[in-house]
Structure 1
């Protein structure tokens, strides 16, 4: 799944002029729509060998990360918080309104894992800010059901959802959006896989 910016389990659907940098695929489903007008700076994989392998890798990565022992619990809304590296666990849903700052404290290898029991929902124009050496590839969001990124959100990290991911209009993702069983829905977005 490393080279994929977008991977859906059932389908990938796009509206508008989305730009995906990295590969885009679906497996085990076979439905990819909206490209064009969407643009993929990479390859499109419709349930081919690469997509099947990425889907299997996604499940393994998800299960490994879910099995990590939490350093701290989180509840409610993450807006306004600054979090050091660690494993954060939420029993149910988490929201993000405003800005969440992830502070690597000068360690470029710093990692964050967010174990979210059900849903992740960001409000309009929310932000995940990476500071002091934090990198998007070292941030994993594990979503027990589905994620919804609100209009004009500026998001960072690898979103791994059990079911679906809805990326609303104007959202920018520095990372990956990867759905195990359901669909990824895009709408005039810019999604860039971290290198």
Structure 2
């Protein structure tokens, strides 16, 4: 029983260790297309009162389409753009606005905030939905948690209203060019309020006296109305990859020269001399032949050389006979 329990415990631990961990990625930004060059874009009219200033490195164009009326410049000023009244540029921008609006409206919802006031909240990257109206009273904080690419998307069923002197604060590398407000009808920004983000309104947008906006005011079918506002449509700061920090203990050692190993001298192999075979010549013992002193030795006609040859033959025969006798005695 104890052994089975140990096995089950081991399996459980392995399952916990091996189970994949789901990491939530930051919400992707919305593609603005050609609308990125417009600080103000309206479907019917653009009307300004007072000393509104429109600028921005991304583009400070003011456009209208299919309407044609843009009034109040001057006294309003446009420092980094021009007015496009139902020309090809404005028509294309209005088409791209529709695409951006649909993109923001179609994102999967992270949190439904219906019925709640955005004031006092701190929100991280995600998609936040209001079934009907949304309002901001006080301060809203958007926290990118160190990711400058983090996007914040708000889906609002009907109207967006910000109170007087309300504000939006960005922290931990959050950037205003990645904050989007998709509004089902109209948006109204309160007096002396500070607003951040791109507003995509189906109908109209009104910025009351002294409201400051970092972003864009884009209305698909109705009017954009301004009153002594400061509107800045800038470019997000370039995202620089974080430096790779290497612990000194993990740094590889500086390469050092490897000393050459000492030469190993191999002594020559000692070869035992091969003994030279020695030819052993056995000299046969001389054979004594008794010849009578007075015996006549017949003279032959054999020459000296022939005699020498015969003598050698006799000596060889005598040697063979002597060797035979020795072997016989040995037996």
Which residue in 1 is equivalent to 2:65? 27
| SS, match of residue 188 in structure 2 | strand
Alignment of 1:117-132 (within 5 A): 117-132=157-172
4+ aligned runs moved over 4 Å, structure 1: none
Report the Cα offset of residue 37 of structure 1: 0.3
CA-to-partner distance for each residue in 1:115-173, whole Å, 9 max, x for gaps? 00000000000001111111111010000000000000100000110000000000000
Stretches of structure 1 that go unaligned for 5 or more consecutive residues are none
CA shift for structure 1 position 77 = 1.1
* SS across alignment from 2:140: strand
Q: Could you say which structure has the greater relative contact order, defined with CA pairs below 8 angstroms and 6 or more residues apart?
A: 1
2:50 counterpart of 1:11: no
Q: Which has the larger radius of gyration?
A: 2
Cα distance in 1 for partners of 2:67, 2:168 equals 30
What is residue 28 of structure 2 aligned with on the other side?
none
- CA deviations 1:12-50 (Å, max 9, x no partner) are 000000001111111111110000000012111111111
Q: Distance in 2 between matches of 1:90 and 1:8?
A: 24
Give the Cα–Cα distance (whole angstroms) in 1 for the partners of residues 171 and 99 of structure 2.
Answer: 29
Aligned with 1:60 (options 95, 99, 119): 99
Deviations 1:34-86 (A, max 9, x none): 00000012111111111111100000100111111101101231000000000
Question: Aligned residue pairs: how many?
Answer: 195
**Within 5 Å, which residues of 2 pair with 1:1-195?**
1-21=35-55, 22-41=60-79, 42-75=81-114, 76-195=116-235
CA distance in 1, matches of 2:223, 2:169: 26
Q: SS of the residue aligned with 2:100?
A: helix
Secondary structure, in 3 states, of the residue corresponding to 1:35? coil
Relative to its length, the structure with more strand (as a share) is: 1
Structure holding more helix per residue = 2
SS at match of 1:2: helix
Query: How big is the shift at 1:194?
Result: 2.4
